[in-house]
Amino acid sequence: MSGAVIHVVQHLSPGGLEVMALELARAQQALGQETYVLSLEGSLEEALAHWPRLATQKGQLLFMGKRAGLDVTLVPRLIALFRGMRPACVHTHHVGPMLYAGAAARLARVPARLHTEHDAWHLAEPRRRRLVRAARLLMAPVMIADAPHVAEAVAQALGGPLPLVVMNGVDTERLQPGDQASARQALGLPADVQMLGIAARLEHVKGVDVALDALRHLPQQVHLAIAGGGREAGTLRSLSIAHGVEDRVHWLGVLDDMARFYPALDLLVVPSRHEGLPLAPLEAQACGVRVVATRVGGTAAGICPLTGHLVPPEDPEVLAAALRRALNEAGDPRPFVLATASLDAAARACLDLAAPFARCEAARED
């Protein structure tokens, strides 16, 4: 496809949506497509300071330095950027990017405009629904959802046709089963325990507090390793002390190499209150690690039905019971990911959706 693809996110800080945009850009670049990730907020220097893994893709990164609140200068600046770069496709991820970059892409006459909804729970709020409807009218994109449940919820909330489903994918070449003992040694984790893991932002929506509560219902030899950072880090550390499990919780912070984290685990826990189709369980299962997750959003679509467990959210005792069962089971979830969640397939699917628009524009110019 002649012309670049630009993925647009609100900010480039550690999170599943941001990782997915980066991975799509990396995979599409590997397919020979010029691809960028544009962050509305921040600068390259700020982003690298908070998330060193971005250094491996810094040649693909663009930043707009959006002002706090409503930034009336942003759409004109984006229009100028798009007119200068003449991309074949602008692909937005979440509401802010669709509102700002989507409008700018249409006004700059970018041929292909795609938008992916990564979750739908935020559309329960009437003001947010109105905002997304307005953004969709401004951008007129091809609507994509990252899981069937998200597609159905978006169509119900916004009206109009069902969004196309392009499942999140992970790099199964990079994410491979590994030696548990060496992985734990590299991360400074104890070797002689059963290790649960969480890979998530430390925010209320991710339900880490529920997992800490569940841990106190599990035997002393069961520990929890947490990879991630966020605003609730201090609160959650205090909660682990209040629950008397602080000696069994290992706070690893933001990790650049998640392929080293997952092999250290016996199980991944996804205790979220809301989700779209989260990447962490797909990544863990690609490494051969089984998952216990809450049945929220599109999570069920990403959990191996033969090896995984799904539980209701907000119930630490039910979560603890599921974890206890799962720790006594076995099975390999990697074949499920290989069959259903290929990063290469997701990257190609998005390019295939954009290609007809780019070809029509090229034909008009000829």
pLDDT string in tens for the chain (366-residue length): 889 999 999 999 888 889 999 999 999 999 999 999 999 999 999 999 989 889 999 999 999 999 999 899 999 999 999 999 999 999 999 889 999 999 999 999 999 999 999 887 778 888 888 888 888 888 999 999 988 888 988 898 888 889 999 998 999 999 999 999 999 999 999 999 999 999 999 999 999 999 999 999 999 999 999 999 999 999 999 999 999 999 999 999 999 889 999 999 999 999 999 888 889 999 999 999 999 999 998 899 899 999 999 999 999 999 999 999 999 999 999 999 999 999 999 999 999 999 998 777 655 555
Question: In terms of domains, do 210 and 220 share one?
Answer: yes
In a domain, 175, yes or no: no
Structural domain boundaries, residue 15: 5-169+342-365
Question: Within its chain, how far is the Cα of 41 from the centroid?
Answer: 18
Domain CATH for 198 = 3.40.50.2000
Question: In terms of domains, do 130 and 245 share one?
Answer: no
Question: In terms of domains, do 128 and 205 share one?
Answer: no
Question: In terms of domains, do 46 and 56 share one?
Answer: yes
Question: In terms of domains, do 165 and 225 share one?
Answer: no
Question: In terms of domains, do 216 and 155 share one?
Answer: no
User: Six-digit token pair at 194?
Assistant: 């059963």
Question: In terms of domains, do 49 and 165 share one?
Answer: yes
- Among residues 222, 167, 158, the alpha carbon closest in space to that of 194 is found at 222
- Among residues 69, 84, 65, 88, the alpha carbon closest in space to that of 7 is found at 88
Please give the Cα distance from 96 to 10 (Å, whole number). 6
Please give the Cα distance from 324 to 216 (Å, whole number). 12
Question: In terms of domains, do 184 and 320 share one?
Answer: yes
In a domain, 174, yes or no: no
In a domain, 127, yes or no: yes
Please give the Cα distance from 365 to 101 (Å, whole number). 24
Cβ-in-10-Å burial (0-12, 13-18, 19+) of 180 comes to: middle
What letter represents residue 119's amino acid?
D
Question: In terms of domains, do 136 and 193 share one?
Answer: no
Is residue 263 within 8 Å of residue 177, measured between CB atoms? Answer: yes
Question: In terms of domains, do 278 and 355 share one?
Answer: no
In a domain, 81, yes or no: yes
**R_g (Cα) of the chain, nearest Å:** 21
Domain count, the chain: 2
Please give the Cα distance from 14 to 52 (Å, whole number). 10
Collapsing DSSP states into helix, strand and coil, what is residue 345?
helix
* The pLDDT of residue 298: 82
Q: Residue 72 has what DSSP assignment?
A: T
* The pLDDT of residue 313: 97
* The pLDDT of residue 265: 98
Question: In terms of domains, do 59 and 199 share one?
Answer: no
Phi, psi of 38 (to 5 degrees): -110, 125
Terminal Cα distance for the chain, rounded? 15
Question: In terms of domains, do 12 and 25 share one?
Answer: yes
In a domain, 318, yes or no: yes
Place of tokens 């005792």: 317
Angle, to 10 degrees, between the axis of helix 208-215 and the axis of helix 233-242? Answer: 20
42: left (phi over 0), alpha (psi -120 to 50) or beta: left
In a domain, 236, yes or no: yes
Residues listed for the chain: 366
In a domain, 322, yes or no: yes
In a domain, 17, yes or no: yes
Q: At a CB cut-off of 8 Å and minimum separation 6, what does 229 contact?
A: 14, 201, 202, 253, 254
User: Six-digit token pair at 131?
Assistant: 């905002």
Is residue 348 within 8 Å of residue 26, measured between CB atoms? Answer: no
